[in-house]
Amino acid sequence: MKRILLAGILLTAYSGYSQIRVGFENNSQWYVDDKKVKIDPQEAEDRLRTNSYLKVDYDYKKWSFGTQIEAYEPKALLNYSPDFEGVDIGTIYARYNDYENGLDITAGHFYDQFGSGLLFRSWEDRQIGINNAVFGLNAKYDITENIKITALGGKQRIGMGFDLSDSYLFGGDLNFDLGSMFKFEEIDFGAGVSYLGRLEEKNDYNKGLDELTNAMSFRLNASGGGFYGDVEYVYKQEDALVELGRLYPKVKQAGNALLINGGYSQKGVALNLNLRRMENMAFYSQRDLNGDIYMRGVINYIPALTKQYDYSLQNIYVYQAQPNFDMNMQRKLGEIGGQFDFFYEFEKGSALGGKHGTNLVLNGSYWAGIKSEVKKNKTGVTSDFLDFGEKYYHDFGMEVRKKWSKDWSSIFMFLNQYYNSPFLNGEFEVVKTNIVSAESTYQFLDNKSVRLELQHLWADADKKNWAGGTVEFAANANWSFYVSDMYNYGNDIEEERIHYYNVGASFTKGTTRVSASYGRQRGGLLCVGGVCRMVSEAAGLTIGITTSF
Whether residue 524 lies inside any domain: the answer is no
Q: Flag whether pLDDT at 426 surpasses 80.
A: no
Summarize the chain as % helix, strand, coil (round to 5). Answer: 5, 60, 35
Task: Identify whether residues 120 and 250 lie together within a single domain.
Answer: yes
User: Which helix (H) or strand (E) segment is 370 a member of?
Assistant: strand 358-374
pLDDT for 427 equals: 78
pLDDT per position as a tens digit, 79-109: 999 899 999 999 999 999 998 999 999 999 9
Task: Identify whether residues 313 and 350 lie together within a single domain.
Answer: yes
Task: Identify whether residues 290 and 384 lie together within a single domain.
Answer: no
Domain boundary among 457, 472, 500: 500
Q: How many structural domains comprise the chain?
A: 2
Q: How far is CA 535 from the centre of its chain?
A: 15
Instruction: Tell me the residue type at 76.
Output: A
pLDDT per position as a tens digit, 527-540: 888 888 888 899 99
Task: Identify whether residues 475 and 335 lie together within a single domain.
Answer: yes
pLDDT for 328 equals: 60
Which residue range(s) make up the domain with 202? 102-268+280-294
Q: Flag whether pLDDT at 329 surpasses 80.
A: no
Residue 331: pLDDT band with limits 50, 70, 90: low
Whether residue 119 lies inside any domain: the answer is yes
Task: Identify whether residues 137 and 190 lie together within a single domain.
Answer: yes
User: d(Cα 325, Cα 315) in Å, to the nearest integer?
Assistant: 26
pLDDT for 405 equals: 92
Whether residue 36 contacts residue 126, with contact meaning beta carbons closer than 8 Å, is answered with no
Residue 4: pLDDT band with limits 50, 70, 90: very low
Residues 382-391, mean pLDDT to the nearest whole number: 88
**Alpha-carbon dihedral angle through residues 430, 319, 273, 257, given to the nearest 10 degrees:** -100
Whether residue 450 lies inside any domain: the answer is yes
Task: Identify whether residues 258 and 362 lie together within a single domain.
Answer: no
Q: Give φ, ψ of 474 to 5 degrees.
A: -100, 110
pLDDT per position as a tens digit, 109-129: 999 999 999 999 999 999 999
Q: Flag whether pLDDT at 10 surpasses 50.
A: no
Mean pLDDT of the chain: 92
Whether residue 541 lies inside any domain: the answer is no
pLDDT for 528 equals: 83
Q: Flag whether pLDDT at 11 surpasses 50.
A: no
User: d(Cα 197, Cα 430) in Å, to the nearest integer?
Assistant: 39
Whether residue 87 lies inside any domain: the answer is no
Task: Identify whether residues 485 and 341 lie together within a single domain.
Answer: yes
Least confident window among 242-256, 429-443, 505-519: 242-256
User: d(Cα 430, Cα 314) in Å, to the nearest integer?
Assistant: 16
Instruction: Tell me the residue type at 329.
Output: M
